[in-house]
Amino acid sequence: MNRQRTSLFRANRLKTVVVVTRDVVLTSIIDRFLKDSYSIVVFTKIEHSLDYIYNSLPDLLIIDISLDDVVTIGIINDLKSDPIFGQVPVLAVLSDDFIIPKWDYLFIEDYVRRSYIETDIIAKADLCIKRAERVIEINPLTRLPGNITIIKQIQRRLETGEIFAIAYADLDYFKPFNDKYGFGRGDEVLKMLGRLILNTVKHKQPNSFVGHIGGDDFIYIMGPDLVESATQEILDNFDRIIPTFYDAEDRAKGNIESIDREGIKKTFPIMGISIGIATNKIASYSHYGEVTERASEMKKYAKYTGGSCFRIDKRQYASKN
């Protein structure tokens, strides 16, 4: 089947720009200037463009915004908070009397004033796309932030004295899965896991943080009061979804078989997920290393128990620093 050929390798095709505006004049100006370099798709309302965006991941979104259009701004912000679709750069066209808000309220990459459209649109569009292409430290599989951001996130919370919990998750029996089914399918599992953790955690607590260290190692940071229920949800949902990544016979048996280097047949159960949690609710930490070490210890405990489970650190601890 040709599924995998719908690849994301884009160098040779014309980049797509989605334009959202009701202004016919604006549409024709943008079209006139950009059509030679880009494939333009126009919508009159952002709601209509979403379906297209979610199915084809365009290279740039140009949108006409007025300050009182709270709904549109909300939709843009939601779009930008998704790891995959948030990568689409957004270039806003602002009317000349649009007062620039605090950027916390409008997640766009750049803007151009209506009266400067003709002079600036090509440069701005090119710049937005180029900027998005520069590698930011995100995991290529899940598009989640990596180590540098993770460390910053932990350190910041320690400095401000915020009470938080950090959970460290990885998979049990991931290697045998990769050995049997190949790295391609292993990657699928990781992509799924990334989305699963992200959505579950963010749904529980919008201002949480989810990071991907690498391989099957994930981290999330949220309030200590919600972390256990969020974690249980992740475990439950993972156990429900992961069987679909196995072939039917293995799924029915509940395990996979392989031969190790000595020629001995070994069976491995269906993957589970182990999560270790540490929190500064009762302990005090001053360095990110201490926190991650605790969480890592807890994760080791969790691994001793078969199947998906989590362990949370209930001991008091005082930082040596």
Partner 1 sequence: MDIQNLRSQIEKVDTLPTMPSVLKKLLKVIENPKVSLNEIGNFISSDPVLTTRVLKVVNSPIYGFPGRISSVSQALILLGLNVVRGMLLGVSVFEVMERAMVGLWEHSMGCAVTARIIAQKKGVKEPEEISVAALLHDIGKVVLSLKFTDEYKDILNNAEKNGLYISEAEKAHFSITHAEAGAWIAQKWNFPKSLIEVIEYHHKPHLSKNIPVQSAIVHLADILIQARGFGFSGNNFVPPVHPAAWQALNLSETDMKEILIEMEEVLEQAEDFLISSE
Residues in Cβ contact with 25 at an 8 Å cutoff, skipping those fewer than 6 apart? none
Comparison of 78 and 260: residue with beta carbon closer to partner 1: 78
Q: For residues 274 and 264, what is the distance between their CA atoms, to the nearest angstrom?
A: 27
Comparison of 6 and 316: residue with beta carbon closer to partner 1: 6
CB neighbours of residue 186 within 10 Å:
21
Q: For residues 302 and 311, what is the distance between their CA atoms, to the nearest angstrom?
A: 5
Query: Please, what is the minimum distance in Å from the beta carbon of residue 52 to partner 1?
Result: 8
Query: Please, what is the minimum distance in Å from the beta carbon of residue 290 to partner 1?
Result: 32
- Kindly identify the residues of this chain, within the stretch 136-175, that bind partner 1 according to CB under 8 A: 141
Taking CB under 8 A as the criterion, the residue among 111, 245, 301, 317 binding partner 1 is 245
Query: Please, what is the minimum distance in Å from the beta carbon of residue 135 to partner 1?
Result: 18
Comparison of 196 and 291: residue with beta carbon closer to partner 1: 196
- Distances from the Cα of 317 to the Cα of 231, 275, 280, angstroms: 23, 20, 9
Q: How many Cα atoms occupy the beta-carbon half-sphere of 265 within 13 Å?
A: 3
Comparison of 49 and 292: residue with beta carbon closer to partner 1: 49
Which among 51, 45, 97 has a CA at the least distance from the CA of 71?
Answer: 45
- Kindly identify the residues of this chain, within the stretch 177-236, that bind partner 1 according to CB under 8 A: 187-189, 191-192, 195-196, 198-200, 202-203
Q: Are 187 and 215 in contact (CB under 8 A)?
A: no
Q: Are 223 and 206 in contact (CB under 8 A)?
A: no
Taking CB under 8 A as the criterion, the residue among 20, 79, 273, 291 binding partner 1 is 79
Query: Please, what is the minimum distance in Å from the beta carbon of residue 82 to partner 1?
Result: 6
Taking CB under 8 A as the criterion, the residue among 24, 54, 95, 130 binding partner 1 is 54
Taking CB under 8 A as the criterion, the residue among 99, 248, 264, 318 binding partner 1 is 248
Handedness of CA 137, 142, 147, 150 (dihedral sign): positive
Judged by CB under 8 A, which stretch of 77-85, 128-136, 277-285, 286-294 contacts partner 1?
77-85
Query: Please, what is the minimum distance in Å from the beta carbon of residue 235 to partner 1?
Result: 13
Taking CB under 8 A as the criterion, the residue among 15, 31, 39, 57 binding partner 1 is 57
Taking CB under 8 A as the criterion, the residue among 55, 160, 316, 321 binding partner 1 is 55
CB neighbours of residue 223 within 10 Å:
17
Query: Please, what is the minimum distance in Å from the beta carbon of residue 206 to partner 1?
Result: 10
Count, residues near partner 1 per rule CB under 8 A:
41
Query: Please, what is the minimum distance in Å from the beta carbon of residue 88 to partner 1?
Result: 11
Question: Two tokens at 207?
Answer: 């201002």
Query: Could you tell me how far CA 215 lies from the centroid of its own chain?
Result: 15
Q: For residues 162 and 228, what is the distance between their CA atoms, to the nearest angstrom?
A: 18
Locate tokens 């579950």: which residue? 200
Locate tokens 């400095």: which residue? 159
- Distances from the Cα of 145 to the Cα of 137, 199, 289, angstroms: 6, 15, 18
Positions that interact with partner 1 (CB under 8 A): 1, 3-4, 6-8, 47-51, 54-57, 75, 78-79, 81-82, 84-85, 141, 187-189, 191-192, 195-196, 198-200, 202-203, 237, 240-241, 244-245, 248
